[in-house]
């Protein structure tokens, strides 16, 4: 179970982080390290690279934190979205560097602007969950994303809405469809 | 909207709430009991959601976690000294605004066309060309000129210039007012009668071959006592210990050129010069007689 943080705690935590208190950064790191890692791992598919980039995300987060304007009505959701923006930007920079090094065509790279998880993550998950993950890979990318955020990263509906740029009602509906479709796929595979 | 879609929307909400309840630690049976009417639909969805919760999602390894935390601490330690110099955004905006205002004021003061800037700029050399004319209106044109600007007909002299006898081709009359004001800077004023009824301050180093009378103050901030002055021209802030007034008359070239940049009338009742400088006459003799004939009365030309 991941560390959880209420909105009030998040406000206090962000204030302490702005003051440069190391304990506040430790808490932020504990809150988001696994989430950021999964986010990156899903897109990169290389564990070591994803781990290194996870640390880079938090270093960049530290630099960008003074410019972050927290939504005081939804501190956790807004900060989570901010963390994922930082991670996405870092990933984009990483792809640019890699493209520059390898002279590869951008079409060969994953869609950088797309934050939705890719089936790649499904091949890297433990064997015990392979059946579930293979069924998840047959979902649409938005439905995969909402399942990853809600169950893999344990975000609230509000946070997922903030990250994906949708309303909470849309996320609830998307979550419902994703779980229902996943169940159908699992049932069909069980029959075969 | 049909009733079925409305029901689905309600099931969306029920599922979201049921998932929150599961996350809060309630069992599936307890959760289903909280949403009567949705048990049949919710049960399979919650079972699938429970599988998803139990799935092995990848996590950061312990070594990577420690490495990452150390990197964050190193970055934090590197950033701390810099953070102390970071101003809040409001102060940064205020500072930037003040800087812009200061730049604007400086640019305004240094603007060459500005009339009175030489009084506040220490390096500027105000030049006054006073040209009496028979006409009733006496105009003055002046523009502040920096000290680097060469003035072809006048050299600002901090000390009394050579007497009129020393001038060769230029018939110059130099009067020195050693009288007295305080600070260090020395104004030099040269009066040259010219046929034009204008008094001119010229910022540009245009060599005026015209028969002009030029009153030049060498030090910008130097006060000149009882100088026939425009209010802009008034020296003010630091009086000089020795004020020198040089009155020079130059013989006019054959074809005078007049290029005043701006004109404005000079008051006819000018205050007297500090040490015995004659007042500029309001009724000056006609230009040809004054400038071209060597027998013209120089005192009349010097007198404001």
Chain A residue numbers with beta carbons less than 8 Å from the beta carbon of B57 are 38, 125, 151-153
Q: Which residue has the higher pLDDT, A122 or A152?
A: A152
Tokens of A137: 């890979």
Residues 85-114 of A with CB under 8 A from B: none
Contact B217, B235 (CB under 8 A): yes
Min Cα distance B28 → chain A (Å) is: 16
Mutation for A interface: B15, B42, B52, B74, most A CBs within 10 A: B52
Chain A residue numbers with beta carbons less than 8 Å from the beta carbon of B86 are 66
Task: Quote the pLDDT of residue A103.
Answer: 59
Confidence of residue A19 (pLDDT cuts 50, 70, 90): confident
On average, the pLDDT of chain A sits at 80
Q: Which of B15, B51, B65 sits opposite A175 (nearest CB)?
A: B15
Confidence of residue A57 (pLDDT cuts 50, 70, 90): very high
Residues 33-92 of A with CB under 8 A from B: 33-34, 37-38, 41, 47, 51-52, 54-56, 58-59, 62-63, 66
∠ Cα A175 A178 A183 (to 5°): 125
Three-state DSSP state, B274: coil
Contact B164, B141 (CB under 8 A): no
Pairing, β B245-248 against β B172-175 = antiparallel
Q: What is the pLDDT of residues A137-192, one digit of tens each?
A: 788 878 888 888 888 878 888 888 888 889 999 999 999 999 999 999 988 877 77
Pairing, β B127-130 against β B172-175 = unpaired
Q: Which residue has the higher pLDDT, A25 or B264?
A: A25
A192 touches chain B (CB under 8 A): no
From the number of C-beta atoms within 10 Å of its C-beta (0-12, 13-18, 19+), residue A49 rates as middle
CB spacing of A176 vs B11 below 8 angstroms:
yes
Q: Can you list the pairs that B295-300 forms with residues at least 24 positions away whose Cβ atoms lie under 8 Å? A: B296/B193, B298/B171, B298/B173, B298/B249, B300/B193
Contact B228, B273 (CB under 8 A): yes
Task: Quote the pLDDT of residue B18.
Answer: 92
Considering the entire predicted model, what is its pTM?
0.44
CB spacing of B83 vs A37 below 8 angstroms:
no
Contact A124, B58 (CB under 8 A): yes
B50 touches chain A (CB under 8 A): no
Q: Which of A37, A58, A169 sits opposite B59 (nearest CB)?
A: A37
CB–CB contacts below 8 A, A to B: 121
d(CA A35, CA A149): 9
Range in A52-56, A60-64, A73-77, B167-171 with the lowest mean pLDDT: B167-171
Q: Count CA atoms closer than 13 A to A149's CA, side-chain side.
A: 28
Task: Quote the pLDDT of residue A159.
Answer: 83
Task: Quote the pLDDT of residue B200.
Answer: 44
Q: Which of B15, B49, B61 sits opposite A51 (nearest CB)?
A: B61
CB spacing of A125 vs B56 below 8 angstroms:
yes
Q: Could you tell me the CA-to-CA distances from B289 to A89, B248, B282 in Å, in that order?
A: 85, 17, 16
Task: Quote the pLDDT of residue B295.
Answer: 43
Q: Is the predicted pLDDT of residue A9 greater than 70, yes or no?
A: yes
SS (H, E, C) B139-207: EEECCCEECCCCCCCCCCCCCCCCCHHHCCCCCEEEECCCCCCCCCCCCCCCCCCCCCCEEECCCCCCC
Closest CA to B14 of B37, B29, B26: B37
d(CA A142, CA B222): 79
Q: What is the mean pLDDT of residues A89-112?
A: 66
CB spacing of B48 vs A186 below 8 angstroms:
yes
Task: Quote the pLDDT of residue B113.
Answer: 66
Q: What is the mean pLDDT of residues A1-21?
A: 83
Percentage of chain A beyond pLDDT 90 is 27
Chain A residue numbers with beta carbons less than 8 Å from the beta carbon of B62 are none
From the number of C-beta atoms within 10 Å of its C-beta (0-12, 13-18, 19+), residue B241 rates as middle
Q: Can you list the pairs that A16-23 forms with residues at least 24 positions away whose Cβ atoms lie under 8 Å? A: A17/A65, A18/A65, A18/A66, A20/B76, A20/B79, A20/B80, A20/B83, A22/B73, A22/B76
Chain A residue numbers with beta carbons less than 8 Å from the beta carbon of B52 are 132, 147, 150-152, 179, 182
Phi, psi of B45 (to 5 degrees): -65, -40
Task: Quote the pLDDT of residue A182.
Answer: 92
SS (H, E, C) B236-268: CCCCCCCCCEEEECCCCCCCCCCCCCCCEECCC
B87 touches chain A (CB under 8 A): no
Cβ neighbours for A94, distance < 8 A, ≥ 6 positions apart:
A53
Min Cα distance A141 → chain B (Å) is: 16
Q: What is the mean pLDDT of residues A76-81?
A: 86
**Distance from CA of residue A154 to its chain's centroid?**
10
CB spacing of B45 vs A179 below 8 angstroms:
yes
Phi, psi of B129 (to 5 degrees): -105, 110
Task: Quote the pLDDT of residue B233.
Answer: 38
Per-residue pLDDT of chain B (304 residues; tens, 9 = 90+): 444 455 556 888 899 999 989 888 888 889 999 998 888 999 999 999 988 888 887 788 999 999 999 999 998 888 765 555 556 677 888 888 999 999 999 988 888 766 554 444 444 454 444 444 444 444 444 444 444 444 444 444 444 444 444 444 444 444 444 444 444 444 444 444 444 444 444 444 444 444 444 433 333 333 333 333 333 333 333 333 343 444 444 455 544 444 444 455 555 566 655 555 555 555 656 555 444 444 444 444 443 3
Min Cα distance B98 → chain A (Å) is: 23
Q: Which of A22, A37, A151 sits opposite B76 (nearest CB)?
A: A22
Task: Quote the pLDDT of residue B297.
Answer: 45
Q: Which of A33, A129, A147 sits opposite B68 (nearest CB)?
A: A33
Task: Quote the pLDDT of residue B181.
Answer: 43
Contact A74, A162 (CB under 8 A): yes
d(CA B262, CA B198): 10
B92 touches chain A (CB under 8 A): no
């Amino acid at each position: 179970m991941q560390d959880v943080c209420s909105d009030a705690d998040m406000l206090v935590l962000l204030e302490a982080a702005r003051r440069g208190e190391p304990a506040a950064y430790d808490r932020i790191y504990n809150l988001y390290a696994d989430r950021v890692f999964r986010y990156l791992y899903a897109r990169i598919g290389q564990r070591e690279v994803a781990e290194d980039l996870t640390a880079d995300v938090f270093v960049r987060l530290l630099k960008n934190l003074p410019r972050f304007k927290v939504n005081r009505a939804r501190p956790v959701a807004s900060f989570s979205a901010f963390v994922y923006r930082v991670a996405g930007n870092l990933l984009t920079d990483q792809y640019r560097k890699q493209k520059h090094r390898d002279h590869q065509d951008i079409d060969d790279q994953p869609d950088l602007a797309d934050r939705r998880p890719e089936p790649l993550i499904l091949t890297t998950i433990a064997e015990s969950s392979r059946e579930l993950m293979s069924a998840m890979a047959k979902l649409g990318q938005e439905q995969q994303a909402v399942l990853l955020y809600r169950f893999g990263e344990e975000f609230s509906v509000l946070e997922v809405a903030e990250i994906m740029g949708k309303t909470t009602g849309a996320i609830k509906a998307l979550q419902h469809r994703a779980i229902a479709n996943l169940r159908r796929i699992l049932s069909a595979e069980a029959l075969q | 909207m049909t009733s079925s879609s409305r029901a689905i929307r309600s099931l969306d909400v029920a599922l979201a709430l049921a998932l929150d309840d599961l996350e809060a630690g309630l069992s599936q049976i307890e959760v289903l009991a909280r949403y009567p009417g949705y048990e049949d639909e919710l049960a399979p969805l919650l079972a699938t959601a429970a599988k998803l919760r139990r799935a092995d999602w990848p996590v950061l390894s312990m070594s990577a976690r420690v490495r990452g935390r150390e990197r964050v601490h190193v970055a934090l330690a590197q950033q701390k000294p810099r953070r102390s110099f970071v101003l809040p955004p409001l102060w940064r905006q205020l500072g930037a605004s003040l800087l812009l205002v200061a730049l604007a004021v400086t640019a305004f003061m240094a603007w060459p066309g500005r009339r009175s800037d030489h009084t506040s700029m220490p390096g500027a050399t105000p030049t006054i060309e006073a040209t009496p004319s028979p006409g009733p209106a006496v105009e003055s044109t002046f523009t502040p000129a920096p000290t680097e600007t060469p003035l072809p007909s006048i050299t600002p002299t901090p000390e009394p210039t050579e007497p009129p006898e020393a001038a060769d081709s230029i018939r110059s009359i130099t009067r020195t007012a050693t009288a007295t004001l305080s600070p260090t800077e020395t104004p030099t004023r040269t009066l040259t009668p010219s046929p034009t009824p204008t008094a001119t301050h010229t910022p540009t180093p245009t060599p005026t071959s015209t028969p002009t009378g030029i009153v030049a103050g060498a030090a910008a901030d130097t006060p000149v006592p009882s100088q026939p002055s425009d209010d802009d021209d008034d020296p003010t802030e630091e009086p000089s210990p020795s004020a020198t007034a040089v009155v020079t008359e130059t013989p006019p070239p054959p074809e005078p050129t007049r290029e005043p940049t701006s004109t404005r009338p000079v008051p006819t009742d000018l205050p007297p010069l500090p040490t015995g400088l004659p007042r500029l006459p309001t009724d000056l003799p006609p230009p040809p007689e004054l400038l071209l004939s060597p027998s013209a009365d120089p005192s009349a030309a010097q007198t404001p």
